[in-house]
Structure 1
């Protein structure tokens, strides 16, 4: 009887361990790693507007007025004259974010100045390309300066007076 009981216990143990072996042979597992990189938010600040100063329009025909994106000096031609002693400047923007990250820059190709019931269409000239959507990268410090110049034709029939307008530059991580 003791022999029969011992055989039954051994058989039960083998049956139980047999199904454990069968389970292990029919299953598999894998481990996935997780990660994230956190970056500083982007900010853009306008530190200087696009200021053409005071311009004398030509007596006849069309004059030209421009300011380069690497200078604060206005150049007038074809009969238009830039008066001295007036502050002029290219538009300057400062972008701050995570160093070394790629960014996309979006801005219009032109802006409209309005005044005295008339308008002036200014073609914008950024120092980071000449299309409406551009890309670049932030320096290791996480800062980038964007300069925008521009120019326009000034017909002799242009209404006298002050003209104002604005344009928006948008940056985003790529």
Structure 2
């Protein structure tokens, strides 16, 4: 029995040494981390999009306003008034590339709602904020006039999204 205890004690000491020696093989390292915090972008509408006065025929069609505020449409339509492209200023980080996207809208009034879609902007292929963090741009779009559209005043909204 004494001999058995001697071997058990030796085994425990040997195992303790093995466990202790494996811990001495560990090493610590230092990881690096970084972050770039960007200012939230704000958007201000400077000029509301206005297609002006449009006289239409009974067939319906698409009226387009350019980013310069020029209105055009099907033969037989006439335009008057003071049309205006939408104008916006986005503010965020200085000298930073952004994307501009749109969500379709609609104009409602005395007749059926008219879809507002196919948006364009004049901020270029790679819009970038200036040294102050601002980006001014104009917006054009298509207005889909329904056949036999009722006359009257129509108004609505669309969404402009500017993102880093």
Taking structure 1 as the reference length, the TM-score comes to: 0.66
1:53 shift after superposition: 0.7
1:135 shift after superposition: 7.4
Runs of 5+ in structure 1 lacking a partner? 1-21
| Distance in 2, Cα, partners of 1:81 & 1:155 | 16
How many positions carry a matched residue from both structures?
Answer: 143
1:147 shift after superposition: 2.4
Equivalent position of 2:113 in the other structure: 119
Q: 1:118 aligns to what SS in structure 2?
A: coil
Alignment of 1:62-81 (within 5 A): 62=60, 64-69=62-67, 71-81=68-78
CA RMSD in angstroms, aligned pairs only:
3.1
Q: 2:28 aligns to what SS in structure 1?
A: coil
CA displacement, residues 79-120 of structure 1 (integer Å, 9 cap, x when unaligned): 11112xx22111122111112334343322x32111114221
| Distance in 2, Cα, partners of 1:128 & 1:72 | 12
Q: 2:155 aligns to what SS in structure 1?
A: coil
Question: Would the alpha carbon gap of residues 106 and 75 (structure 1) be closer, same or farther in structure 2, given more than 3 Å must change?
Answer: closer
| Distance in 1, Cα, partners of 2:79 & 2:93 | 41
Q: Which runs of 4+ in 1 moved over 6 A?
A: none
Which of 99, 102, 107 aligns to 2:102? It is 107
Equivalent position of 1:160 in the other structure: 151
| Distance in 2, Cα, partners of 1:29 & 1:64 | 68
Runs of 5+ in structure 2 lacking a partner? 1-20
